[in-house]
Amino acid sequence: MSLRAQGQVQASKVLKNITINPQAFQKSLEPQQLILLAEDALAVLIDAKLSREQYDVIRRKAPEKFPSYKIVRAAKKLCYPTDISATETSASFKLQALLDHTTERLCQTLSHVIIQSFKELNKLCLISKWGFDGSSGNSTSKYFITMKQTRYCRPIKIEFKKESTCVSIAEYNKIEDEIKKLIDSNITIKSKQLKVNHKLICSMVDGKVCNALTETTSTMKCLICGATSKQFNQIDNIIAKEIKTEDSEPINFNLLFIRNNVMRRITAGFCFLLHGSIYNSGLNTCCIS
């Protein structure tokens, strides 16, 4: 009895094609080009800064590789958290909704790792850094892409307002109030409930913001003890000055900011000494390990 008589119509067509063209089976051995996932296509669109028209032009050249723009747009909407508020001069998210959405997306991406550690995982902690700054000093130069760049940040608020000390203090206090009211995020993976609490550190600030939050009136003053450059040579007075302890809220980002500046200056000093020693020794190159 033939395959067609048995009701296997597709199998009979395959067998017929093989008998007519014996080389046809080799196509099944070739690796098939899989279409990109919606998230991967969205990453291409964002990295290349493509418009919809540009994306459609590329897709028409390789329809088997790129999904439709409708699918990409749906994936883009999944990246937006809830509780969005917008006015004529500002747009902002609720911090709780932003952290809940960020936690959910991270757990979805790392689900294969979390599933392997279900027995050990009961409660997780998401440590995030936050900060704020004006846009006047931002550079449009291209930098090497790293995870520390603001490109990978989640925007909390953007507002058209002149940067000032009062504005910096008000924004800092507002975010701190929201941080105190945060609750754990509940995530479900494979019918297992996970609780993720949040710890936020204000470290993405510059010297101007530090001066505003610590009420330091001059950029030449130390953010921790308040000493000026002239007072640094007066050892007795410096020792007697009151030093801010870790109980003070501004000390967290003060130390981070000062550490970065100190490390930059120490590195520059060592480079200066190194170049001087190389020049005096008559060597053209050196090796640093």
In a shared domain, residues 63 and 100: no
Sheet containing 185-189: give its strands across. 123-131, 192-204, 185-189
User: Cα–Cα distance between 186 and 229 in angstroms, integer?
Assistant: 51
User: Cα–Cα distance between 175 and 102 in angstroms, integer?
Assistant: 17
User: Residue 281: CB partners within 8 Å, gap ≥ 6?
Assistant: none
Total domains in the chain come to 2
CB 95 within 8 A of CB 174: no
Write a three-state SS string for 89-106: CEEEECHHHHHHHHHHHH
Task: Name the residue range of residue 50's domain.
Answer: 31-79
In a shared domain, residues 100 and 184: yes
The four Cα atoms 128, 134, 136, 140 give a dihedral, to 10 degrees, of 20
pLDDT at 4: 65
In a shared domain, residues 39 and 108: no
User: Cα–Cα distance between 215 and 211 in angstroms, integer?
Assistant: 6
- Domain final position from 182, 204, 226: 204
In a shared domain, residues 66 and 115: no
Radius of gyration in angstroms for the set of CA atoms belonging to the chain, rounded to a whole number:
29
pLDDT at 114: 82
The answer to whether residue 50 is domain-embedded is yes
Read off the pTM: 0.67
In a shared domain, residues 71 and 170: no
The answer to whether residue 217 is domain-embedded is no
The answer to whether residue 15 is domain-embedded is no
The answer to whether residue 40 is domain-embedded is yes
In a shared domain, residues 172 and 151: yes
The answer to whether residue 115 is domain-embedded is yes
In a shared domain, residues 91 and 131: yes
In a shared domain, residues 75 and 85: no
The answer to whether residue 152 is domain-embedded is yes
In a shared domain, residues 173 and 159: yes
| Chunked mean pLDDT (size 10), the chain, 289 residues | 69 74 62 79 90 93 90 92 88 92 89 79 85 65 55 83 86 91 89 88 80 77 75 76 58 51 55 58 45
Tally helices (H) and strands (E) across the chain.
11, 6
pLDDT at 264: 52
The answer to whether residue 209 is domain-embedded is no
In a shared domain, residues 110 and 199: yes
In a shared domain, residues 103 and 174: yes
pLDDT at 253: 55
